[in-house]
């Protein structure tokens, strides 16, 4: 089976559409979403509806999604993120708000796990170090743990004794998933990459070939920026889309 894996859409409809179009061309049959449908972007309602209509294997809660009804999480946000969250609340229907805030924090399947942050702390913690890889291994089952949150495309490979970390920002980078290792894979951010590349980032998991391919796709950044200006989103959030941060 070919499974599209994506994360951190952040209300960016143009980037989401580009991601899903590319995954359709790549033959994706099902989807895994690693959290943060909303936050930063101008189209939270459309993004919620589009994602929930997909044939999803897993869809988990992100920290921005959770903050919609957990006010204590806002203390971790900077001023621009808090302002964007407030605008997002006004742009969401009651049904979409409920659908988002009731998503599970983790999904554990026999062969994989999905969280936004880490298995130890799915909402607040960033998965970014080899020490975390080792300390979290016993907290999830299967060969792969899919994560989001950092807005960077990478994978960790190893065992409880040793592991490696590799950034994968180039379109088409393919890795083979061996039975001797376990993996943490972050497909990157669809709606707000932070690796100085504005293209939407996501990936394709081929369970038959046992590979994961990191993908990038251009989208109409200016159109998204125009809508953000219309709703008076912070200028930094608008400008940063064009430079991949």
Sorted by sequence, the CB contacts under 8 Å of residue 224 that are 6+ apart come out as 12, 13, 14, 15, 41, 42, 241
Q: Say how many Å lie between the first and final Cα of the chain, rounded.
A: 33
Give per-residue pLDDT as tens, 161-183: 899 999 999 999 999 999 999 99
> In sequence order, what DSSP letters do the residues of 190-243 get, joined into one string?
SS---SS--SEEEEEEETTTTEEEEEEE---HHHHHHHHHHTT--HHHHHHGGG
Q: Is 236 left (phi over 0), alpha (psi -120 to 50) or beta?
A: alpha
**Nearest to residue 19, comparing CAs of 195, 205, 190, 206?**
190
Give per-residue pLDDT as tens, 210-229: 999 999 999 999 999 999 99
Give per-residue pLDDT as tens, 125-151: 999 999 999 999 999 999 999 999 999
Q: Give the pLDDT score at 160.
A: 87
Q: Give the pLDDT score at 69.
A: 93
How far is CA 147 from each of CA 46, 62, 85, 220, 234, rounded to the nearest angstrom? 23, 10, 22, 26, 27
- Is 90 exceeded by the pLDDT of residue 197? yes
**Nearest to residue 33, comparing CAs of 46, 14, 20?**
20
Say what the pTM is.
0.97
Any idea which residue has 């899919």 for tokens?
Answer: 146
Q: Give the pLDDT score at 120.
A: 98
CA-angle at 169, arms to 57 and 162, nearest 5°:
75
CATH number for region 2-243: 3.60.21.10
Q: Give the pLDDT score at 178.
A: 94
Where in the chain are the domains?
A: 2-243
Distance CA 203, CA 236 (A): 27
Distance CA 119, CA 113 (A): 9
Give per-residue pLDDT as tens, 3-58: 999 999 999 999 999 999 999 999 999 999 999 999 999 999 999 999 999 999 99
């Amino acid at each position: 089976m070919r499974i599209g894996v994506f994360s951190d859409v952040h209300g960016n409809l143009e980037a989401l559409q580009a991601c899903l179009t590319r995954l359709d061309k790549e033959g994706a049959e099902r989807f895994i979403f690693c959290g943060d449908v909303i936050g930063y972007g101008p189209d939270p309602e459309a993004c919620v509806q589009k994602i929930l209509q997909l044939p999803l294997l897993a869809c988990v809660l992100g920290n921005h999604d959770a903050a919609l009804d957990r006010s204590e999480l806002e203390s971790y946000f900077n001023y621009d993120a808090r302002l964007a969250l407030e605008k997002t609340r006004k742009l969401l229907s009651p049904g979409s708000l409920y659908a988002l805030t009731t998503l599970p924090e983790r999904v554990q399947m026999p062969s994989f796990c999905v969280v936004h942050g880490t298995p130890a702390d799915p909402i607040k913690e960033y998965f970014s170090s080899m020490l975390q890889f080792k300390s979290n291994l016993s907290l999830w089952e299967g060969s792969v743990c899919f994560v989001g949150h950092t807005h960077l495309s990478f994978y960790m490979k190893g065992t409880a004794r040793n592991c490696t970390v590799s950034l994968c920002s180039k379109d088409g980078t393919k890795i083979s998933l061996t039975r001797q290792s376990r993996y943490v894979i972050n497909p990157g951010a669809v709606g707000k990459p932070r690796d100085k590349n504005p293209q939407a980032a996501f990936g394709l998991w081929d369970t038959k070939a046992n590979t994961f391919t990191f993908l990038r796709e251009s989208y109409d950044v200016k159109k998204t920026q125009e809508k953000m200006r219309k709703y008076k989103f912070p200028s930094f959030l608008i400008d940063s889309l064009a430079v991949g941060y």
